[in-house]
Structure 1
Amino acid sequence: MGNSLEMLDTLTWEFEQQTTSRKAYEVLSIMVSVQAVAMWGKMAPSHSITAIMITDDQQTIVTGSQEGQIILWDLSSELKISSKEILFGHTASVTCLAKAREFEKQPYVVSATENGEMCVWNVTSGQCIENARLPYRHTAIYYYHCSFRMTGEGWLLCCGEYQDVLIIDAKSLDVLHTLSSSESSDWINCMCIVHSARIQEDSLVAVSITGVLKVWDLSASLNSIQERQSVCEKESKSLDCINCQAVRFCTYTERLLLVVSPTCWQVYDYCDFSLLCTEFCKSGQCFAGGEVLAAYRLIIWTEDGHSYIYQLLNSGLSKSLYPADGKVLKETVYPHLLCFTGMKENKSFPFVMGFMNERKEPFYKILFSGEDSGRITLWHVPDVPVSTFDGSPKEIPITATWTLQDNFDKHHSMSEGIIDHLCASKDGIKSAVVSSSVYIPSLDKLVCGCENGKIFVTLGLKTARARLLENISLLKDNLPYKVLNGHSSKVTCLLYPHDKSVRFDPSWLLSGGQDSIVICWDIFTGDILHQFSLQSGPVMELLRSPENYRLKDHSIVFCVCSDHSVAILHLQKGVCLLHARKHLFPVKKIKFDPIENLLIVFCEDCSVYIWEIET
């Protein structure tokens, strides 16, 4: 578990403010070394994979998810997979993962999210070493360190939805400098570090979203970067490809450069960037990435999870031949398909894929993928792919596949969930699944909203203690609870506003549902105080008004709905003050101007709406 937690679909307890018995505290503190404990039932938490990597030692798989959590998976020498730890620290979808140090010395990886969060994790201990929030959305990160020319821990070279390439300090996560463009400055889609063992020089090769290839000389720019001088590309060339997905340098030949776009993949001569080969994708497919397997051998994969291994064959053209115009005729190559990977029939989209070729022993070449369903799949790519007897491409079967749910199913002795004893009673339904939860430290109340619309309120610490000790008699006989009935479908969010602001009544509990209803409950009696029918779609989030809010009555909350609308609710009066419905895209952030009493809504398409609340 990470040291910064945000738990979705889990039950969380904070112990600092508790006045319960010392015995109960000791029982729970023995179980965990941090100030929270998470419990699940028989269903694993959702983990829609958006980023995946394998560490350099090939002993750990790291996956980032749409939900924000990161999972560490053990990878055995026999390529068997098992989940190890879930790291909670991000509040938004993970966009990319990368190593953050020389792995043999420090086993660190870095993660980045859609809202600019960055975390450096120790994959051995699961601890968050460093974190930062930057105004950048990264889509790719590469670690760079030149031991005999650089001091410190190295750099993180980042690209994404901003101009050119950012240089971030790998230790502090501070922005150090920018690799800028002298012309055609644009977002960078993909990049790779080119290290030439022959001349001991490093370069960064990148391709912009409009298909312009740029090369920055890293070795020659170290001093300029450290002194914050302008660093521009040394070479630039416009390629005939848009929205490039990957660019890779062939370290075996130090001559070939692979460029993958959705419609085709191409091979260029790195010396002068002349085109040597082009291969177009099949109808209905889109290429998504690729890697260099060996000299003149490539692996290319598609958006739907297929992959193909090609051998580049010499065309037979000689550089000694001169055409009529007197120019040297470049040597070209053409691809020969050797083999392809097998697929599962029940795959889920989208796919994220990668390739690892760095293990010392037993020298595995591994192709790996992560799916929206949370499934990881591995293929062991043979060192020398061979065709079938008739010369047709050979299929490489799946080596291993695993999900988080497989780990849950593997342990049959799993205890019940923390409110399963309530769902089995006359007031509940056996199939109730917790869809949202909140713990109220000051009252020691655990509130669980379920997919069937019911809300259970019980004592948090006593219930947790009884469940951890499997004291079923205490659960069934001695723990009071309430069932709140008001929603007709899934409870999507809960809020107890008094725990962070004394201006709210301590009896108020708010719930939002898939039925587009917000209910204000009396948490002590279980009565409905107010019901707001928004008629806008599922309620996604409930937020308190800020402390410096200037309305005469401060009992104001805001709710964000799935139809991109924002509602302002007055709890004391039981009325909806404003329902802002004109947003064309999902709401990403809400800010307030306390001086002018303005509501500022920021949407996913970067549009901003300003609402005058009082009018």
Structure 2
Amino acid sequence: MTAGTSLVVPIVLWGRIAPTHCISCIYLSRDQKTLVTGCYDGQICLWQVDPETIKMSPRCLLVGHTAPIMCLSRASVIMEQNYIVSSSESGEMCTWDLVDGKCREAVKLSSVHTQMLPYVSAGGEDVRLFCSGYYPEVLVMDPFSLEVLFTLSSRVNPDWISALHVLRPAKRKGRFYVHTNDVVLALTTTGTVKVWTLLGHENRNSEPLYEHESKQIRCLNALAMTCCPYNQRTVLIVCSKHWQIYDAGDFSLLCSITSPCGERWMAGDFLAADRVILWSDEGHGYLYKLPANKLKGKALSSSVADNKNFHTAGVEYDQPYLYCTLTQPGDKPLSCPPAMRLVTVQKQTKTLKYLLRGDSEGVVLWTVPEVTTQQLAQICQNDRSTPLSLPPTIKTSIAMAWEEMKPPPVGILDQLDSGDGHGIKLTASIYLPQQSRLVVGREDGSIIIVPATQTVMLQLLHGNHQQYDDWPPHQVLLGHSGRVNCLLYPHGAAPRYDRAHLVSGSVDFAVCLWDLYAGTLIHRFCVHAGEITQLMVPPDNCSPRIQKCVCSVASDHSVTLLSLAERKCVVLASRHLFPVVTIKWRPLDDFMIVGCSDGAVYVWQMETGHLDRVLHGIIAEEVLYACDENTIAASGGSAAGGELGLANPAVHFFRGLRHRNLSAIRHATQRGLHQLQQLHGGQGVDHGNQIKTKGTPLMIQGFRSNPKDPESHILFFDIEALIGNVSFVFLVDTLDCQNFYKDI
């Protein structure tokens, strides 16, 4: 990767515990060499697959989404161009290159997709994504630019699209197939079937495209809809409690099967013209043979004769017959719904079908059996009530891959473990580049300070230093009685703070102020009634008193400003009804703006600790957006925010009088004089005083794929800075040698 013009090489120290990967969606590339799994924590894992043995091993973890991955889709027509598109629960979309794992394009939409169907255009030149979700349209997008090409709208009963399918009919069949062009079938949450016919020249400048046909059927909240590729007169619709077969000509119901006891259907697909496979939220696959006398179409002419075999076996064949189940022996209950998909693989002259399942335990693969009609009749004669049960072919997980690694993956502080492989979990870390020290908080409440360069060398380089028990030297800070959640080095964020101060927040409700050099506890703030979740510093242009404070957020929905100079709490903002998700600043207005998970925004005065107002809805969003604009404008040299009259010092002067706060009166007076000086002197922000931070050879960033995981670490080596430092050290050593020879 590159940062600016520098080449930066990342190395990950995972630790001995495998990262959590609870799979939410799954995809197998067209060349069967890469398996892609998206998880509920927002990460995407790439698995290397051996096409012959189907053996899988995790290869790469893609980090870019901030919400659960909801759907994955291919993006390219050519098999050698392995690109995929991912979409998250927060509307984020990314296009990834499966070869190197790079993100080629990323956008964030207001529309959240629940389904993305890739469809090759009639000319076979490109792929279009047909997307549906929590909105009443069908969005057709370009997978590489991630732009909306055109939209399919509804004129009759517009509602969210719950199931979608795109097909290219061979010829006209029934009133629902108007032309031989591409046809889009959609089913709304209220059970309205809609049909759009595409002409092939639609673009973003086209008129709104409305459905050509629509019909109400008795099918609410459908989860999936699939047209049979072997017989386009048959449509499979899956709901949670039942799946149904419809005639595509007039959408009349042909047959229906309810879900097994204690399970809910998730989706399904066609195995043949008269065979379907369904899967449930328990991770089981069910194979059914459809009654040929209920189906229509030329592709089913041979299946009608097969009915005689079933009547001979004494089976009443008017409903779908369950002949096989795909289960995992000893399968324990799943913690979240699995992600399942049917994949068709072409191997030489043989076509294989796999059922893929991804869940919190890993990846499971079944080879779908090919059961002939004669074998099916034999199964019926042997035991009509018990279908054939098949175990999985492949089962793997990231945890299994971790166990197979010899030696196991190393962590940043493995030298402090007892050696049993169950060391104390690392829960927070912060790197101090100017001091080349790494500060790590642990689950038992201790804080470890180690020299970063020597620690990295111990884990990555082999040598005699690995035999020393007391190397590298480390410092232990003891003061918390529970897990350390967050660390803050205020001087690293703003030079106005003391260089020796370190702040930590823990699950024990306390914020501790440490002397970094002496290793002593200076003060313990016990203000919150919940575990500390976040620490930060206020902006530089706050009042002098607030500039000596740090901001802490706790799980009891409270926010505090703690003065490191006065050793006391300056502001306790504790009236929030929901968890705090964001904090913005209006320093010129003396405002700290707190955004909560319910969308409410609380505006607090920092000097007085007074709750100025509570905002909801669109006004709350506009205030948060205005804070972002204010930050950008302030960095450009203008005192933004005055368009609303909030930065007027006179307003704060009278507020100080009303609350009898001398500090607020003094601060408002000082800002008024400062604004007058800027107005008459014409002096803006002095950008010349902003010193550009030079690149450091090493940066260490802690990360977790799941909040319950121990913290892993990414080492970023800046090659240009590293070479410069090596050259400097070599030059110093050469001069020392020359001075040594001169002395001789």
Same-fold call, TM cutoff 0.5: yes
In structure 1, give the amino acid aligned to 2:399.
Q
Deviation at 1:63, TM superposition (A): 0.9
From 322, 340, 353, the equivalent of 1:354 is: 340
The separation in 2 between residues aligned to 1:98 and 1:284, in whole angstroms, is 31
For residues 135-158 of structure 1, give each alpha carbon's deviation from its aligned partner in whole angstroms, at most 9, with x where no partner exists.
Answer: 3332222223316287xx543322
Partner in structure 1 of residue 106 of structure 2: 131
1:368 corresponds to 2:359: no
Matched to 1:354, the amino acid is M
Q: Flag the 1:267–1:547 CA change in 2: closer, same or farther, 3 A.
A: farther
1:311 matched residue in structure 2: 289
Q: 1:42 aligns with which of 16, 19, 22?
A: 16
> Which residue pairs with 2:395 in the alignment?
401
User: Is 1:339 aligned to residue 339 of structure 2?
Assistant: no
Alignment of structure 1 residues 445-460 onto 2, 5 Å: 445-460=437-452
Normalized against structure 1, the TM-score is what?
Answer: 0.83
Q: Is the 8 A contact 2:276 2:287 kept in 1?
A: yes
Match of residue 216 from structure 1: 196
More strand by share: 1
Q: Is the 8 A contact 1:114 1:138 kept in 2?
A: yes
Give the CA deviation at 1:436: 2.7
- Work out the CA distance in 2 between the residues paired with 1:108 and 1:58: 13
Note the alpha carbon deviations across 1:241-295, whole angstroms, 9 max, x for none.
Answer: 3332111111110111111111111111112211112211233221111112211
Alpha-carbon separation, structure 1, partners of 2:418 and 2:296: 79
How many angstroms apart in 2 are the aligned matches of 1:530 and 1:143?
A: 59
For the 8 Å contact 2:84–2:95, the answer to whether it is kept is: yes
C-alpha change, 1:317 and 1:478, in structure 2 (3 Å) is closer
Amino acid at match of 1:140: Q
> Is residue 490 of structure 2 the alignment partner of residue 494 of structure 1?
no
Q: Which of 89, 97, 113 is the equivalent residue of 1:122? A: 97
The residue type paired with residue 441 of structure 2 is G
Q: Aligned residue for 2:367?
A: 380
Contact 1:490–1:514 (CA under 8 A) maintained in structure 2: yes
In the alignment, is the contact (CA less than 8 A) between 2:132 and 2:138 conserved in 1? yes
Tell me, in whole angstroms, the C-alpha distance in 2 between the residues paired with 1:430 and 1:580: 38
Inter-partner Cα distance in structure 1 for 2:16 and 2:288 = 44
* Residue in 2 that maps onto 1:168: 141
Is the aligned partner of 1:180 residue 2:173? Answer: no
Q: Answer yes or no: is the 8 Å Cα contact 2:26–2:341 preserved in 1.
A: no
How do residues 100-499 of structure 1 correspond to structure 2 at under 5 angstroms? 100-146=75-121, 148=123, 153-198=126-171, 201-217=181-197, 219-220=198-199, 222-315=200-293, 334-343=319-328, 344-361=330-347, 362-373=350-361, 375-384=362-371, 388=379, 389-391=382-384, 392-414=386-408, 416-424=410-418, 431-471=423-463, 473=465, 476-499=469-492
Q: Secondary structure at the match of 1:355?
A: strand
1:498-533 residue CA offsets vs partner (Å, 9 max, x unmatched): 444445544443333333333343333333344343
Given the alignment, which residue of 553, 578, 583 partners 2:572? 578
Instruction: State the partner residue of 2:676.
Output: none
Q: Residues 454-603 of structure 1 correspond to what in structure 2 (within 5 A)?
A: 454-471=446-463, 473=465, 476-533=469-526, 535-545=528-538, 553-555=546-548, 557-563=550-556, 565-572=557-564, 573=566, 574-575=568-569, 577-584=571-578, 587-592=580-585, 597=591, 599-603=593-597
1:590: Cα distance to partner? Answer: 4.6
Q: Specify the SS of the correspondent of 1:467.
A: helix
Residue 536 of structure 1: CA displacement? Answer: 4.1
Structure showing greater Rg: 2
Query: CA RMSD, aligned part only?
Result: 3.3
Q: Compute the displacement of 1:46 (Å).
A: 1.6
Contact in 1 for aligned 2:274/2:290 (Cα 8 Å): yes
- 2: CA distance, partners of 1:318 / 1:117: 42
Alpha-carbon displacement from aligned partner over 1:44-72 (angstroms, at most 9, x marks no partner)? 11212122111222222111122322111
Equivalent residue for 1:612? 604
Q: State the alpha-carbon separation in 2 of the partners of residues 260 and 215 from structure 1.
A: 18
Tell me the CA shift for residue 545 of structure 1: 4.1
Per-residue CA distance 1:386-419 (angstroms, 9 max, x = gap)? 5543233100211111111111111232264221
Q: Is the 8 A contact 2:527 2:569 kept in 1?
A: no
Residue pair 1:15, 1:35 contacting (<8 A) in 2 also:
no
- Residues 144-190 of structure 1, C-alpha deviation per residue, up to 9 Å, x if partnerless? 3316287xx54332223334222332112233443222243333333
The residue matched to 1:487 in structure 2 has which SS?
coil
Higher helix proportion (structure 1 or 2): 2
- Cα 1:601/1:312, change in 2 over 3 Å: same
Quote the Cα distance in structure 2 between the aligned partners of 1:453 and 1:194: 59
Which residue of the partner structure matches residue 725 of structure 2? none
Percent of residue pairs bearing the same amino acid type: 32
Partner in structure 2 of residue 26 of structure 1: none
Instruction: Specify the alignment match of 2:701 in structure 1.
Output: none
For structure 1, which runs of at least 5 residues remain unmatched after alignment?
A: 5-13, 18-32, 320-331
Q: What is the CA deviation profile of residues 110-144 of structure 1, one whole-angstrom value per residue up to 9, with x for unaligned ones?
A: 12223332221111222222222333332222223
Whether the 8 Å CA contact 2:227–2:234 is kept in 1: the answer is yes
- Kindly provide the amino acid, as one letter, of the partner of residue 487 in structure 1: H
Q: What is the letter of the counterpart of residue 98 of structure 1?
A: S
Moved more, 497-506 or 456-465: 497-506
Pair 1:491–1:595, CA change in 2 (3 A): same
Name the TM-score, length of structure 2 as normaliser: 0.69
Q: Residue 463 of structure 1: SS of its match in structure 2?
A: helix
**Paired residues of 1:304 and 1:349 also in contact (CA < 8 A):** no
1:567–1:576 contact (8 Å) kept in structure 2:
no
Contact 1:351 1:370 in 2 (8 A): no
Give the whole-Å Cα distance in 1 for the aligned partners of 2:455 and 2:250.
69
1:99–1:557: structure 2 CA closer, same or farther, 3 Å change rule? Answer: farther
Partner Cα distance (1:248, 1:214) in 2: 14
5+ residue gaps, structure 2: 173-179, 298-316, 611-744
Preserved CA contact (<8 Å) 2:283 2:327? no
